[in-house]
Amino acid sequence: MVRVGLLGCGNVGGALVQLIADRGHEIEARTGVRLELAKVAVRSIARKRPVHIDEELLTHDAAEVVSDPGVDVVVEVIGGVEPARELILTALAAGKPVVTANKELLANHGAELFEAASAGGVDLLFEAAVAGGIPIVRPLRESLVGEEIRRVIGIVNGTTNFILTQMTEHGTSYAEALAEAQQLGYAERDPAADVEGFDAGAKAAILGSLAFGAKVVAGDVYHEGISNVSTTDIDFAKRLGYVIKLLAITELVEVPDGPAEVAVRVHPTMVPVSHPLAGVRDSFNAVFVEGAAVGDLMFYGRGAGGDPTGSAVLGDLIDAATNLRKGTHAEVISLVRRPIRPIDDLLTSYYVNLDVVDRPGVLRAIAEVFERHGVSIRSMEQEDTDDGARLILITHEAREASVQATLGDLRELDVILNITSVLRVVGSD
């Protein structure tokens, strides 16, 4: 029997309690471990909950749950940095395994927590912190530990993926799609954490840490959100055989005469319709992993929601409990310091859509700007419009800074009426 101390009993905590109640016998039959809920820290004891919990298990005092000698394993689902960090460090120092779903904490203090787990000789498991119910943390930590991972690309925010799917499939405007997401409970009243890419950025930092064994924190992540993506962008993307997705991208970049650098960023991106990530619709998440030997992998599923996230927590909890019984723990994560590659130095392919005046020499003038900055054009389409012409360009991979300088110079060019849209392109090389 393993006694579980639960910190927080909202959506995810409630789902976990229900799953333990429903699946406890089956889990015991399969693994020999009986999970027993020993103590639950909640904000309000009186509050009605959709799941039944013995009132005597409830307490306001999270620290009491952690220090209770009747608690063998701690599950933290309160979220946020403090007091979660303090509570988890206390549990680990006391030799109690911890399961957490806390992306914000891991993305800011992962290295400290991993070291504490290592020092305590116990498990710190966090499958639910990235992409909810999708098993991605365990495959990266275990199955792929010997693999040379080159790049990880994730659709790791369900809210923005829902909004972009609505815009793509129903022609909805950004504002309408956001309102719909809010109505369905996918987006918060203040949607900034989702739509500006902060949430995806935290997950990108965790993915980068796991994939490259490197210290990557939320502050290292360059991010742009989707609030500037227009239906015009989406329509042109579609015409060219792309869809627009908010991607979290982290890769290891070899540097001549120096240590490899970790690049990590979040931005709206054009993805070819034939790419597996293009088919990830609605609020689903997916993590695409590019390995040297294993090739391309993708892990797809529900990135949020009480039940899927609760299921991921439960998987970790069973693992922590069986390890505890056997007196062992998962391989510890030790992170090395690697330089973070500045966004300016990243190589990206760009899509650029320009309204221009229709007269001889325009194309030459534009091509000259690209050439001056060493940005090579991969494809170009020109078409007439009512008041001039439209140029649709896709570049080869070029340094971000060079593309930005090119765009700056293009803005100065009097033959250009409007830069309609500019988007990065991934996955079509």
Would you count residue 83 as binding a copy of itself (CB under 8 A)? no
Helices vs strands, H then E, count in the chain: 13, 17
Closest to 288 (Cα-Cα) out of 161, 128, 139, 125: 139
Would you count residue 429 as binding a copy of itself (CB under 8 A)? no
Indicate which single residue of 64, 296, 345, 381 sits in contact with a copy of itself (rule: CB under 8 A): 296
Instruction: Please identify, using beta-carbon distances, which residue of 318 and 393 lies nearer to a copy of itself.
Output: 318
Q: Which of 203, 215, 238, 245 is catalytic?
A: 203
How far apart CA 137 and CA 207 sit, in angstroms, is 8
What is the chain's Cα-based Rg? Answer: 24
Instruction: Please identify, using beta-carbon distances, which residue of 58 and 134 lies nearer to a copy of itself.
Output: 134
Give the rounded distance of the alpha carbon of 339 from its chain centre.
21
Stretch that binds a copy of itself, among 96-104, 197-205, 297-305, 395-403 (CB under 8 A): 297-305
DSSP one-letter string for 220-249 = G-EE--STT--HHHHHHHHHTTEEEEEEEE
Instruction: Please identify, using beta-carbon distances, which residue of 31 and 404 lies nearer to a copy of itself.
Output: 31
How far apart CA 247 and CA 383 sit, in angstroms, is 30
Closest to 241 (Cα-Cα) out of 386, 381, 377: 381
Would you count residue 281 as binding a copy of itself (CB under 8 A)? yes
Please state the closest distance from residue 70 (CB atom) to a copy of itself, in A. 22
For residue 7, the tally of other CB atoms under 10 A from its CB is 27
Would you count residue 315 as binding a copy of itself (CB under 8 A)? yes
Closest to 39 (Cα-Cα) out of 13, 64, 15: 64
Please state the closest distance from residue 288 (CB atom) to a copy of itself, in A. 8
Indicate which single residue of 110, 158, 301, 427 sits in contact with a copy of itself (rule: CB under 8 A): 301
How far apart CA 91 and CA 102 sit, in angstroms, is 15
Please state the closest distance from residue 237 (CB atom) to a copy of itself, in A. 17
Stretch that binds a copy of itself, among 134-142, 151-159, 191-199, 223-231 (CB under 8 A): 134-142
Residues that bind a copy of itself (CB under 8 A): 15, 19, 22-23, 26-27, 30-31, 127, 133-135, 138-139, 142-148, 213, 274, 276, 278-281, 284, 286, 291, 293-302, 305, 307-308, 310-312, 314-315, 317-319, 322, 326, 328, 331, 334
Q: Which residues are catalytic?
A: 203
